[in-house]
Amino acid sequence: MRRQQIILFIFFFIIAATPVFLHENANLSLSRDISSFLLFPFRTTTAFVEYLTISNKRIEKLETLVSQLKLENASLKDQLVVDTTQFELSSYILLKASVIGRDPLNINGYLHIDKGLNDGVFKNQTVLSIDGFVGKIRHVGPVNSIVETIENRGFTVSAIDINTGIHGIIKKRENLMFLYIRHNDTLNEGDSIMTSGMSEIFPKGILIGNVHAIAESEDMFFKDVYVTPATQINRLVSVYIILNGRALPTRD
């Protein structure tokens, strides 16, 4: 037996044997002190776990609030430009969902989430993250759903360059592209691209991404505009579903 082990054994033996030789009152007092000492790590760990639980709930509430404020800010900007005499705050109801499945190579651009019909989710509802646009609900089950994202090559969304007002279509090819931009249209690298609102599904003003490159193409009418998405789909662990957006409740 090592020397350290012998010392620890003697120490704990003395602690355990001491109450035998003490008066009853002293025995009780010592027992309380020893119990407090021995339970201190447990109490500390319990308090820390409780603190983490409360912090996670606060973070989730703050994330939801940030997403709501971004949507409402876009709606307010639109109303100020169109008609300042009818100033009304839009209110979006967001449902947070966890990503429970994905294609690890992100080839097909689909995500599986843990919310479905039982939670008020329907086909074609808009899906976003804390950073911006993600996609739409494609299939719905009772307790989970499939999200079609902008990484899917068949997915398109009407978009607008918020700095110039130029409209186009966002679609994934080899890269995420802002399509149907004419050669004489003026865009700049770094411009923000948002949903245009010209859709029965997606509300206006959700950030899709930013222009990172513009190149002349062999196309007679249009040039190539490359977009860096605001949301990195393959890193998402949770998303938000707009429950009261434009999409009508449609079951699969």
Is 160 found in the same domain as 87? no
Whole-number CA gyration radius for the chain: 29
Is 86 found in the same domain as 12? yes
* Residues paired with 147 in a beta bridge: 111, 137
∠131-133-136 over CA atoms, to 5°? 140
Let me know if residue 122 belongs to a domain.
Answer: no
Let me know if residue 104 belongs to a domain.
Answer: no
Q: Which helix (H) or strand (E) holds 74?
A: helix 24-82
Let me know if residue 135 belongs to a domain.
Answer: no
CA atoms of 72 and 69, how far apart (whole Å): 5
Query: Domain end: 34, 56, 91, which one?
Result: 91
Let me know if residue 246 belongs to a domain.
Answer: no
Task: Report the length, in residues, of the chain.
Answer: 252
Is 161 found in the same domain as 84? no
Let me know if residue 244 belongs to a domain.
Answer: no
Let me know if residue 243 belongs to a domain.
Answer: no
pLDDT at 186: 87
> How are beta strands 207-215 and 192-195 bridged, if at all?
antiparallel
pLDDT at 2: 58
Domain count, the chain: 2
Let me know if residue 119 belongs to a domain.
Answer: no
Q: Which CATH number belongs to the domain containing residue 223 in this structure?
A: 2.40.10.350
∠58-240-163 over CA atoms, to 5°? 105
43: domain range?
Answer: 1-91
Is 84 found in the same domain as 169? no
Low-confidence residues of the chain: pLDDT under 70? 1-91, 105-107, 245-252
Nearest to 106 by CA among 243, 242, 241, 229: 229
**Residue 114 carries which side chain, given as an amino acid letter?**
D
The 10s digit of each residue's pLDDT in 54-64 is 666 666 666 66
pLDDT at 86: 37
Is 87 found in the same domain as 166? no
Let me know if residue 81 belongs to a domain.
Answer: yes
